[in-house]
Structure 1
Amino acid sequence: MNDSMRTAHWHKAAWAAGSLALTLGAGVAAQEQAPATVEVTETRLAGNPTLSLDERNETGSRLGLSARDTPASVSRLTSADIAERSLMRAQDVAVRMPGMSEAPAPGNGGSSLSARGFGGHNSVAQLVDGARLVVAAGTISYPFSTWPLASVEVLRGPASVLYGDGAIGAAVNYVARKPRFDRTRGEAFFGAGSYDTLQGGVGVSGPLGETVAYSAYADADRSHGYRRDNGYERQNVSSALAWRASQDLTATLSLDAGHNDDARYFGTPLRNGRLDDSIRRTSFNVDDALVRYNDRVARLRLDYQAAAGLRLRNETYYLTSKRHWRNAETYTFDAAGTRVNRGDYLEILHDQQQAGNRFDAMVDGRVAGRANRLVVGFEWYRTRLVHSNNAPYGGASVVDPYDFAPGVFSSPVPTIPGRRAEMDTRAVFLENVLDVAAEWKLVAGLRRDVMDFDNHDLRTGVSLGKDYHPVTGRLGAVWQPSTQFSLYGQFGTATDPLSGALALPNGSVSFDLTRGRQLEFGAKGGVPAVKGEWTVAAYRIEKRKLLSRDPDNPGVAQQIGQQSSTGLEIAFAAEPLPGWTIDANAAVLRARYDDFQEIVGGRPVARDGNTPAGVPERTASVWTRWRFLPTWDAGLGTRYVGLRQSNAANTANLPAYTVLDASLAWRQSPSLNWTLALKNLADRDYALSGSGGVRWLLGAPRTVQLSARTSF
């Protein structure tokens, strides 16, 4: 897409968003003939944004438990917290929570996360309103915008008992805004910032009579980027219509869509393992590169209070993802250090569909005179992928880094469909919480999946199939001797795919899923004197059945490897003084290969005792906010990510980094806020991901954004 087409596309999106705002605003005005009441935009000062121990957390359990009553580590940031920190990308919210970090790349949708020593989409599940986004080929590209989100919730540790395969490290749930029956609320924002960045969005929700309510949110985002291939254009729409068919039955239809012409930046080559400042803003991709994602999601949710103590819930959904990459993806300096060799001229297309249904029944009753809640249900989903590419990925060029001519994409191999993959998953699950005594709760869960996988090679005609039958569970106890303090312990199990949910490891049907187990102990408490809450968790996770090479026969892969992590996480949020809030967390862990053989030069080499690639063993995040005048607020945040290894041999690494952010907010009126946000205040260069001593994917430099938010 050329510049004129991009500009026209942006103008259409901006015009559509503006028209929607005017239409919705007119509709609101028409409905409210009486004198309007001004709704004050939320400026919460409670010191517990990520903890919220006494609020119900839907991601940690289907039982409707509060965070305090859940025997696991759960965190949440709401839409108000997200707006306060000027976070525009969905994954940027998740990495503000304890122990979470990122490893983005255009190939994984820029959305790959790491938790508790395990990284990537195969180990950290991502969901929308509790529906699992199946990883087709290492990529998740939705959601990317925070504007339509009510909150982002994270359950750390094994989550397969709730969400199925691929959740040993954590599960991240993006919770969309819902229609509201109580009153009409409209809101909008517009922002402008560094590198010709423009952002805007509008949304409204409210009743359409006594039995129908709606919500509609749209936003768009455009930037030229701090280098030629960092520009992007994104549009996002989220809508829902709720119908109260009766006092006990509600049906909600949601339609969401996202279009993302994303950055084409695949990294900066290193000179002798070091970053050369003279090329840190140079682009090395071809001129006609593209990274494009189009996602559509439709969902129908039914919620029926069938009788006293019996609640039935059902959700049916259909998702499509169409993705297209065309890039030169690797860049390395030649031996003389004067030229950059480009390779991996890749063109890849994903045509992915996911359809599913989840039903559960919640039963409230008593067992031996004690309160008991049981959730039992089933889930089915089918994912299909047609994967096209130009394998075996030929094409190469040599460019001058100081007199760069981008050239165009050229491949000796045509791009054609390569394989078609289908995964059919059926699962039954149950959860139960029993008040075994006045101060004790026992929480248990069990899930059995039946997974049928078929892989069809469209070039050779060979078809292979594999069935998996994992059983996962969780057993935990919570002791709450007072309203301000609780202790818990938990044992849980999980499974991960070896090479993606829709791929066969090593092209063979001989291998099973990896198996994981965790033992976790923790405490959660409150400090009323400073309106504070705190949590601490200690855990040990083991992941078994990794592919490892036979030392006596390097050509044979065996599923005998193991890796583990042991760690400690702490979090604290408080309001020590009126108008001053602080939210802080830190995590330390020891992640190791316990038993792993890697092929090097045709022979197996033991990597026992090494740290898995891409895993930081130290992370920390702090955000503090000070209302220094009645209408003025200042915010300051820092996020630290420790050193990460780049390979199993631990011979190269990505350095640790610290990023500082700041903001200044002014409430011009009860319904209009202005915010000046500065990201990467110190303008540091840092590596988000990369290939160790060869190439780094650099984070954004210092950026400035001025935005306005209004409610109507």
Structure 2
Amino acid sequence: MQEARNLLFLSVVVCIAQTSLAQPSVAQLPTVQVTDTQAEVGSTLSLDAPNSTGSRLGLTARETPASVSRLEAADIAERDLTRAQDVAVRMPGISEAPAPGNGGTSLIARGFVGHNSVAQLIDGTRLTVAAGTVTYPFSTWPMESVEVLRGPASVLYGDGAIGAAVNYVTKRPDFERTQREAFLGGGSFGTVQGGVGLRGPINDVLAYSVYLDAERSDGYRQFMDVQRHNYALALAARASRDLRVTFSLDGGINDDARYFGTPLRDGVLDQRLRRTNFNVSDSVVKYDDRVWRAKVDYQVAAGLRLRNETYRLTTARHWRNAEDYSFSTAGTSVDRSDYLEILHDQEQTGNRLDATFDGTLGGLKNRFIVGLDWYRTRLVHTNNSPYGGASAVDPYNFAPGVFISPVPTIPGRASELETTALFAENALDLTRQWKLVAGLRNDRMELHSTDLRSGVNLAKKYSPVTGRLGAVWSPSETLSLYGHFGTGTDPLSGALSLPGGGNTFDLTKGRQVELGAKGAVPAVRGEWTVALYKIEKSNLLSRDAGNPNVTQQIGQQSSTGIELAFAAEPVRGWTIDANAAFLRARYDDFGERVSGALVSRNGMTPPGVPERTASVWTTWRFLPQWQVGFGARYVGERQGNTANTTKLPSYVVLDASLAYEHSPNLRFSLSVKNLANRDYALTGTANTSWLLGAPRTVQLTARASF
């Protein structure tokens, strides 16, 4: 592996050197046309571009009666975003709740937290959540774009998407052009990154794509060193003008940071401990993911298109850590507990077939798609439950020690989830100004779970029906108004485990009403969107008011909010992309058992949900070859528990960049993340510990095309 990494970095250096040395006259070519060729530089809106996440019918964002956003590969590179989820949190209303236990990838949208409510997809294929965890993707290098659909997305992608769906669209073989690119970067804390990307035609029948990248870093705390390797390989065969078959293999190996938080002293962060990691010396956080896919795209006739995708995902995950830290009563030591060792062996096999009809209905333009989606996921969950082990350490003279567990690590549970879904979507042009969009999905889900230690088998079947109905009115070319009603479902716990540990509860159900507008401001080459919504999520687990020992599925949670976005180029060379979200998230009907008694949490805000978020990114090309960028991201305060007695403070993270275009094929950039070097809590557990964000980091990157 070390030799492979060295070879990768060497190839990147050679590619960049060849680009800068070959044909020296290239540097004299005019460069002012770089901004002129992009009508929507740095925009997360792209209203007139097709958005594959908001609909499977090829609708543009302007034609879709829902809130959709998108950021392209060039803009991702401009902002020096290397982690996939860092792109999503630049979209309106999206924030993060990362932790090693959820893969560091958990997101928040419209008042709903985690993988069970915010779906993440690869090219439209949902990755099934295993025990609240998704570990792929984690690199932006193979990405063509990142798209977000906010609000219930179950009608498109199935269970677990009441808050939003985030779709990572990858670069694939191109028959029309050859593209070669590379990057090499180095920065703070011994970070080195590099990658190469090649795609293009082999001949008239075959085309290929190869994207490889790697990263290593010493980290800004002990036990936060990382090594990551990613690959995205594909071969496309064009048997005829109308038939195309693509085979691909994507994956990554991630030896990740082993940091689970910093303990607070009396609810306050001790500045002396900001860079101390209280994990054990032999800790492990490692993920190995790979996805095999075969896609067939066949244009049968002028108005009929067939698509089929067969895929197989395999995931191996391993955690071995001391995960809980708190100060002792005397405040002289830090008590460590939750010595957890957990392994996930997961495989997901599926097939999605759909047919698209593009024609007329009663003389009106109509697009219709119908499909069948089937997948089966198996998980073997190995652990050392009931997770014993404890130790006390000196926080100011820290000795990490090693992993201790009185219980052996053995297989604990085997689960299998099989889902068959029939889905349909339709877009009807009632007039030139009015469009009606509708969708329907029926899932048949069967979940089996076996306790490998006791031999107890439990099973549950679900048959959710979800749908959406929306209309778009476009009174002019620069304005669209829409309304939307949609439904969705969420699991009550991690997807491959039965709700509440039993088989008597159903999925939670959600419904949303949304009104919005999307428009253009040609005078400043700008676009804007506004969305107002209300979501209700029912069937939460709540205690019986008469008997706190009995759990009922009667609870409800709701959120009401508004999201605003604006992107423009007011003058040539100056771009701005900004958004803000304001919401009110509440438990409407929720009883929690506390010390044997039932306590109402009605009117409380769910923990971890920020009710105010905002993001802005602006760039200025102050000279033909020079560009400066500045960004700010605000996340409001979040409740630390269901009683709302503790809070995580709000934070603002500032970023800046300076880029120099040596030639149209070679660009250097210097980026600074967390410019103010602020300490802030990404997540937290009540008032005992915070998972802190990264300090100021500096990165110098060279990007080349050749």
Matches within 5 A, 1:305-344: 305-344=299-338
- Residue among 602, 610, 619 paired with 2:604: 610
Tell me whether 1:711 sits opposite 2:696 in the alignment: no
Determine whether 1:634 maps to 2:638: no
1:263 alignment partner in structure 2: 257
Corresponding residue for residue 5 of structure 2: 13
**Partner SS, residue 6 of structure 2:** helix
Query: SS at the partner of 1:553?
Result: coil
Aligned length: 698
User: Which residue of structure 1 lines up, in the alignment, with residue 132 of structure 2?
Assistant: 138
Shift of 1:38: 10
TM-score, reference length from structure 1: 0.96
Deviation at 1:585, TM superposition (A): 0.1
CA distance in 2, matches of 1:45, 1:479: 24
CA-to-partner distance for each residue in 1:678-706, whole Å, 9 max, x for gaps?
00000000000010310000000001010
2:412 equivalent to 1:399: no
- 2:197 matched residue in structure 1: 203
Cα gap change, 1:227/1:20 in structure 2, threshold over 3 Å: closer, same or farther?
closer
1:273 aligns to 2:264 (yes or no): no
* Amino acid paired to 1:112: S
Instruction: Give the root-mean-square deviation of aligned CA atoms.
Output: 1.9
SS of 2:87's equivalent?
A: helix
The answer to whether structure 1 residue 444 and structure 2 residue 412 are counterparts is no
Task: Answer whether contact 1:45 1:580 (CA < 8 A) is retained.
Answer: no
| Aligned match for 1:175, one of 169, 172, 175 | 169
1:383 maps to what in 2? Answer: 377
CA distance in 1, matches of 2:580, 2:362: 42
2:235 matches 1:245: no
How far residue 17 of structure 1 moved from its aligned partner, in angstroms, is 5.2
Q: Name which of 520, 528, 539 aligns with 2:522.
A: 528
1:27-426 mapped onto 2 (5 Å cutoff): 44=38, 46-47=40-41, 49-426=43-420
Q: Is the 8 A contact 1:611 1:645 kept in 2?
A: yes
Deviates more, 1:183-192 or 1:41-50: 41-50
Residue 185 (structure 1) shift? 1.2
The CA deviation string for residues 588-620 of structure 1, in whole angstroms up to 9 with x for no partner, is 000000000001001110000000011100000
What amino acid does structure 1 have at the position aligned with 2:641?
A: N
Q: Relative to 1, partners in 2 of residues 1:492 and 1:180: Cα closer, same or farther, differing over 3 Å?
A: same
Q: Give me the whole-angstrom Cα distance separating, in 2, the residues matched to 1:99 and 1:120.
A: 14
Cα deviation code 1:276-320 (max 9, x no counterpart): 001111110000001000001111111000011000011111000
When residues 244 and 25 of structure 1 are mapped into structure 2, their CA distance, relative to the original with a 3 A threshold, is farther
User: Could you tell me how far apart the structure 1 residues matched to 2:536 and 2:116 are?
Assistant: 15
Aligned-partner SS, 2:162: coil
Structure 1 residue 23, shift from structure 2 partner: 10
| Structure 1, unaligned runs of 5 or more | 1-8, 27-34
Deviation at 1:10, TM superposition (A): 4.3
Q: Which residue of 1 aligns with 2:21?
A: none
SS of residue paired to 2:556:
strand
For 1:593-608, what aligned pairs fall within 5 Å after superposition?
593-608=587-602
Q: Is the 1:303–1:313 contact (alpha carbons within 8 Å) kept by the matching residues of 2?
A: yes
Aligned mates of 1:110, 1:418 — CA distance in 2: 24
Which residue among 701, 707, 710 is the counterpart of 2:695? 701
Supply the distance in 1 between the matched residues of 2:152 and 2:39 (Cα, whole angstroms).
Answer: 32
Paired residues of 1:497 and 1:513 also in contact (CA < 8 A): yes
1-structure distance, mates of 2:30, 2:443: 47
Q: In the aligned structure 1, how far is the partner of 2:627 from the partner of 2:487?
A: 44
In the alignment, the residues of structure 1 paired with residue 417 and residue 378 of structure 2 have an alpha-carbon distance, to the nearest angstrom, of 7
Q: Is the 8 A contact 1:42 1:80 kept in 2?
A: no
Change (3 A) 1:39 1:331: farther
Aligned to 2:22: none
The one of 566, 575, 581 equivalent to 1:572 is 566
Q: Does 1:556 align with 2:550?
A: yes
Counterpart amino acid of residue 386 in structure 1? V
Structure 1 distance, partners of 2:407, 2:691, is 27
Give the C-alpha shift of residue 229 in structure 1. Answer: 2.0
Q: Aligned equivalents of 2:646 and 2:77: distance in 1?
A: 37
Report if aligned partners of 1:10, 1:233 keep a CA contact under 8 Å in 2. Answer: no
Conserved 8 A contact 1:38-1:671: no
Q: Secondary structure at the match of 2:74?
A: helix
The one-letter code sitting in structure 2 at the alignment partner of 1:378 is L
Give the match for residue 679 of structure 2. 685
TM-score (norm. length: structure 2): 0.97
Does structure 2 conserve the Cα–Cα contact (< 8 Å) formed by 1:429 and 1:445?
yes
1:621 aligns with 2:629: no
Q: Matches of 2:688 and 2:139 in 1, distance apart?
A: 31
Instruction: State the 1:20 CA deviation.
Output: 8.3
1:338 shift after superposition: 1.2
Match of residue 433 from structure 1: 427
User: What's the offset of the Cα at 1:15?
Assistant: 1.5
Given that residues 235 and 248 in structure 2 are in contact (C-alpha distance below 8 angstroms), is that contact kept between their aligned partners in structure 1? yes
Match of 2:665 among 662, 668, 671: 671
- Mapped to 1, the partners of 2:43 and 2:618 lie a distance apart of 11
Tell me if 1:511 matches 2:496. Answer: no
d(CA) in 2 for partners of 1:19 and 1:677?
A: 23
Can you give the 5+ residue segments of structure 2 that lack an aligned partner in the other structure?
A: 19-25
Separation in 2 of the partners of 1:389 and 1:707? Answer: 41
**What secondary structure, in the 3-state scheme, does the structure 1 residue paired with 2:447 have?**
strand
Name which of 469, 491, 496 aligns with 2:490.
Answer: 496
Maintained 8 Å contact 2:16/2:182 = no
Given that residues 495 and 516 in structure 1 are in contact (C-alpha distance below 8 angstroms), is that contact kept between their aligned partners in structure 2? yes
**Measured at CA, do residues 22 and 424 of structure 1 come closer, stay the same or move farther in structure 2, by a change above 3 Å?**
farther
* Cα contact 2:9–2:184 (8 A) shared by 1: no
Distance (whole Å) between structure 1 residues aligned to residue 698 and residue 60 of structure 2: 38
* Cα pair 2:98 2:106 within 8 Å, conserved: yes
**Alpha-carbon separation, structure 2, partners of 1:45 and 1:619:** 27
Where 1:299 maps in the other structure, the secondary structure is strand
Superposition deviation, residue 172 in structure 1: 0.2
Deviations 1:158-188 (A, max 9, x none): 0000000000000000000011112211100
Q: Distance in 2 between matches of 1:39 and 1:463?
A: 70
Q: How far does the alpha carbon of each residue in 1:252-288 deviate from its partner, in whole angstroms, 9 at most, with x for none?
A: 1111120000000000000000100011111100000
Inter-partner Cα distance in structure 1 for 2:41 and 2:666: 23
Corresponding residue SS for 1:437: coil
Contact between 1:39 and 1:671, CA under 8 Å: does it hold in 2?
no
